[in-house]
Copies of this chain bind each other. A is one copy, B any other.
C-alpha cells in the first residue's frame, strides 16, 4: 500500500458540501483535501475559517485547475452536477458525484459518455446507502441466500419536517421528491435485485399529496408520495418518500424473499439511550440524512479514494445511476399525470410488456 495521498477537491459547500469537505479533512487518511470551490461568498468565508490550509475558489474551473489536483467530489447543487462532473472528467480528474447525476436520464447519460471516453479515471455516483454497514450486512446476507429469492422490496426516504419551508424553494431545482429522495431507494432496489440497469422495469406508477406544503405544487412537487415499480421477472418495489416526519429521519428498507426477510432500520434510533419518563419510554431519532449516514459517507469516501489510488473498479457502476434517474423521473411524472407508465426493455411503451 502506497503512502501517497490522493489530492482531492470538493465542489460546493452547502449543507452537504461542508460535510464532505470536513469528512475528507478529518476522516479519510489516504486523501488530502487541497481545494474547495463555491460561488457563495459566505461559504467561502466558512471554508477559510474551518478548512485550514485548503485553497478556496469561487469558480469550479479554478478548482479543477488547482495544481496537482487528482480527484473531485462534486457536492454542489443538483443542477450543475453533470456539467461539473464532465468538466472534471475532461480535465483528467477522478470524480465522485453526489446523487443524482442529473434530474433527467439523458443528461445523466452524458456523464456516463464522458466517463466512457476516459476509462483511466474513476467516476462514481455517490449512493451513500450502499456504504452503510447495516445495508452492507443486509446485502451480504441476501447474497448468501438467507432469504431465498428477493421478491418484494419496500423502502422509504423520509425527512424530518423542516418548518422553515426550505424544501419548497429547494424543489424548484431538485427534480422532485422521487428524484431527490427516492432515488436512493430505487438504487437499493436495483442492488438487492441484482440489476445494473432498468431493462427489467415493466411499469411504474405513483401518487402524491401535499399534506403540509401546498406551495410545492407550483414546482410540480409533493411532500408525501408512494410509488410502485413492477419488474418483468416477477418482482415488485414499493417506495415511500416524505418531507413530514415529526421525530426525525426515517429511512427504512425491507427485502422480502421467498425464504425470509431482511429489515433495515425498522425502528429508527439515534443511539442506544432510552429515557424512561412519565408517559413512557422514549428514544431519539437521527435528525438528518447526514446524521443517519455519516459513517456511510466516510466509508464511501474511503472506498472511492482506495479505488483511485489502487486502480480498482468503483463499487457502483455509473450506468446504474442513469437507470435510477430514469426510474425516479418516471415515478415523478406518474405522480403528476396520474398515469401508469409502461416500459419495454428500458424504452417507454404504450402497452404492458409481457
Contact = CB atoms under 8 A, between A and B. Distances in A.
Interface stretch (A8-16, A103-111, A265-273, A319-327): A265-273
B228 A246 contact: no
Contact of A152 (B26, B211, B238, B256): B211
A260 interface: yes
B284 A279 contact: yes
A261 interface: yes
Contact of A247 (B152, B246, B277, B352): B277
A182 interface: no
A147 B285 CA distance: 17
A274 B282 CA distance: 10
Contacts of A29: 25-27, 29
A226 B282 contact: no
Contacts of A314: none
A39 interface: no
Contact of A236 (B154, B207, B340): B207
A154 B230 CA distance: 19
Contacts of A154: 240
Interface of A: 1, 3, 25-27, 29, 52-53, 133-134, 137-138, 141, 146-147, 149, 151-152, 154, 203, 205, 207-212, 224-226, 228, 230, 234-236, 238, 240, 242, 244-248, 250, 256, 258-285, 338-340, 352
27 contacts: A1-B52, A26-B29, A27-B29, A137-B270, A137-B271, A137-B284, A151-B224, A152-B224, A152-B226, A207-B236, A209-B234, A224-B256, A226-B238, A246-B276, A261-B275, A261-B276, A262-B275, A264-B273, A266-B266, A266-B274, A267-B274, A267-B281, A270-B280, A280-B283, A280-B284, A281-B282, A338-B352
